[in-house]
Structure 1
Amino acid sequence: MDLKKVIREIPDFPKPGISFKDITTLLQDGEAFKHSVDLIVEDLKDKNVDIIVGPEARGFLMGTPVAYAMGVGFVPVRKPGKLPFETESYDYGLEYGTDTLQIHTDAIKPGQRVAIVDDLLATGGTMIAAAKLIEKLGGEVVSMQFLIELEDLNGREKISKYDVNSLIKY
């Protein structure tokens, strides 16, 4: 199945020169959505994953069905102020400024094998932040899985020490 055919591209969104990859069309297509989840699960099947982590918010959409299919738990990584329990934070740089991600302090147990699942690999900043949070809690990042990779942004280079799989490349 050619998953690119079910991704809607929106030119000049959110600003001129950007070609936004809209995954809502893939999510609406039951066969394509199932196929994409199945492909990620297939890649993870021999990696002895204990838990899936998904960054806010589209990582929730891709990560939870993967966790369900694998019979493992799911942990959300969120922006500040969204998690109700004690959190660990990690600040990371953006093109203009900084951002922060948080995870519950009890979400990852020492030694747990973790796969991070998200919709898009762009510059890699979010993935580095999520990996640092997991590692800070004693987890081991065994794989990073993406529906889409924007190759021109070279995010893969930032996360090259990890196992990386992307289903669609632009």
Structure 2
Amino acid sequence: KMIKSMQRKLHKANIAVGQTDKSKLFFFIDAQAYEEKIRNYMIKTNAYQEITSGICPLGNDLHLVILLLDHLHEREEITDEQYKQMYPNLKTLELAHIYFNLKVHKPEISVRPIVASINAPARLISSFLDQLCTPIYNYVTKDITFINSIDLIRKLNEYQQKGYLTSTRLFVIFDG
């Protein structure tokens, strides 16, 4: 009863509730301010497209994935087993969708997009390619990839011993 009452009050006050980015905390924010942050992010990145036509592209996405798999299979560029491994599960199929978490740990509170695509038509192709390419990538980048803090210290020591650690050396990090 208490939860239902809180939900009604929050809805009535136009308050959005969600989980913060990188923590188990929840946020409460004015729904319009939250939607504005999302809209600004989508405009700024131009990486996502909102479906406003009312026409769901899931059928078309599925059709294109099956066409690709059939084409590769007919040309014997993938095996029967690979074909089955990448073929979409029609019982659990759903359109990939996006939601946003607040990045409250940043000075200017922004949003982080989370794409939920676990049941999207191309998901199994993505998994297959990941399994195929990750070992190759890891092998090629093993000398410049740090797995944890201890690994970083070891690699920096090696770097210094080889004479690469100079005052003009630049290091680049990426934090999503």
TM-score higher than 0.5 here? no
TM value normalised by structure 1: 0.25
Normalised by the length of structure 2, the TM-score is 0.25
